[in-house]
Amino acid sequence: MKVVFSGGGTGGHIYPALATIDEWSKQDSSVEFLYIGGERGLEKEIVPAAGISFESVKIQGFVRSLSLDNFKTVYLFLKAVTKAKKLLKAFQPDVVVGTGGYVAGPVLYAAQLLKIPTVIHEQNSVIGVTNKFLKRKVSKVGIAFPAAEQFFDTATLVGNPRAQQVVTGSLNSKFNFDELNLSNDLPTVLVFGGSQGAPKINQAMVEALPAFNEQDYQIIFATGKNRFQQVQDQIMSEKLTVKHNIKIVPYIANMQDLMPRVDLVIGRSGATSLAEQTALGKPMILIPSPYVTNDHQTKNAQSMVDAGAALMIRENELTGGTLVNKVNQLMLNKDQRKIMAQHAKELGVTDSADQFITLIKSAI
């Protein structure tokens, strides 16, 4: 069997594909995979590093206003379709799978023109632009959130394949808080705004330091690689103290080992993060990014709040004070954390990669 995956631009579109390929390869080593991504997306580095055959097409997204750039987008789309058709004819796949991002548009459209079965995966609670375009002729649809079902004629809830990978890895977690000069016996909060960090979250954390210094729980605060020095400079300029129960780091390389050990997660509400946290059953305080397409992070976060798995702070309401109040609400109430953790666990699909693979096979 031969399978093509396409998706990219951000890790949220790439990692579900890689998790599916990883699990499928374990189940059947005879399956051949090809990944078609964009020339400028993260996938051009991440996918080859994972040992997967990679080809690229040149594509860009539409500008959400009247712009001459959109004429270039249409031109690049048509060229990408032509190249994708050549790649697909050469590889002869049994099915082509799209996990989102602009690049999946021309690749799956080319497959549809060639009468090759296609499958899409929607990671968010609201449909993305690419999947909205592709859904008319797609063979099968997998969704991660029940709320996304309304956007498709038929869809199968499979969860996010990344979740299964995280749960499997958590069984072997041996993270020791001594590595961060923290206690292995204190309840722990993890705060992060993604690999690049989030300025508003960082600012609120700095404002909250005096209050967090006095708590009986501990906090790991990841600023993002490129924002660490900025946070340190602000702490020094404001002559703030960072006590022994708080550890500030640029990023956490072994997040998959740390995540199972923490008691509360604070961060954005991207699809992959939520898949990981629900699979592990983590109570959450979500601060959705307002800078994403269709405000989908707010919709993702609201679905968690509605299920009783999370609290939400909108970015325009985020201050050091609001953050401290929400954190104390949960960290000083173990019973509430347990209830939220259970609700989160109920939302998690821990065999998500297996379910998605089954769905893909059913399209052939």
Residues making up the binding site for UDP-N-acetyl-alpha-D-glucosamine: 10-12, 124, 195, 252, 297
Residues 6+ apart with CB under 8 A from 280: 166, 167, 170, 259, 260, 344, 345, 348
Say which residue the tokens 């069997």 belong to: 1
Query: Per-residue b/e over 6-25, b at no fewer than 16 CB within 10 Å?
Result: bbbbbbbbbbbbbbbbbbbe
Beta strands in 83-187 (DSSP E): 95-98, 118-122, 140-143, 156-157
For residues 167 and 260, what is the distance between their CA atoms, to the nearest angstrom? 9
One-letter identity of residue 172: N
Instruction: Copy the structure tokens of residue 325.
Output: 């109040």
CA distances from 280 to 15, 254, 283, 319 (A): 17, 16, 9, 28
For residues 249 and 45, what is the distance between their CA atoms, to the nearest angstrom? 25
- Partnered with residue 285 across adjacent β-strands are 266, 311
Instruction: Copy the structure tokens of residue 361.
Output: 């096979």
CA distances from 4 to 52, 107, 119, 122, 269 (A): 11, 9, 10, 17, 28
Binding residues, as ranges, are: 10-12, 124, 195, 252, 297
For residues 323 and 88, what is the distance between their CA atoms, to the nearest angstrom? 50
